């Protein structure tokens, strides 16, 4: 049965057309390129299997210093515990971003709190 105009209609279960609008299957929709912020007001297409360091640490573990153009460590022990992050790991990601790296492999980012 399928819904058309707010009513269930028997025998319309195999139709991809409901109420005159063609439904798109999830597997057909596909995921297009996704732009993510890699630095303040700077967006790029996200490479497959990568994650923006900025999107991961800015505002959570670090603050952006506009004068120096650098990220600065700003996490509390409670924040680190909530996200399952260690201070050394957060500082390492911040240092990598400050050196000019913008992407990190998603596999390397998985923590207990992120699964």
**CA dihedral defined by 87, 93, 98, 102, rounded to 10 degrees?**
-160
Under 8 Å CB-to-CB from 41, ≥6 apart: which residues?
Answer: none
Token pair 């991961």 is at which residue? Answer: 56
Distances (CA, A) of 66 to 45, 84, 104: 24, 28, 23
Tell me: the pLDDT tens digits for 88-112? Answer: 999 999 999 999 999 999 887 654 4
pTM value?
A: 0.67
Average of pLDDT values for 12-28? Answer: 55
């Amino acid at each position: 049965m399928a819904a058309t105009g707010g009513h269930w209609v028997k025998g319309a279960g195999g139709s991809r057309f409901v109420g005159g609008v063609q439904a798109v299957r999830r597997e057909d929709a596909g995921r297009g390129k996704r732009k993510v912020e890699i630095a303040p007001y700077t967006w790029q297409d996200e490479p497959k299997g990568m994650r923006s360091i900025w999107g991961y640490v800015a505002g959570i573990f670090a603050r952006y210093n506009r004068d120096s153009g650098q990220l600065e460590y700003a996490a509390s022990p409670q924040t680190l515990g909530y996200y399952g992050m260690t201070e050394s790991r957060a500082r390492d990601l911040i240092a990598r971003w400050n050196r000019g790296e913008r992407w990190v492999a998603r596999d390397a980012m998985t923590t207990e709190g992120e699964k």
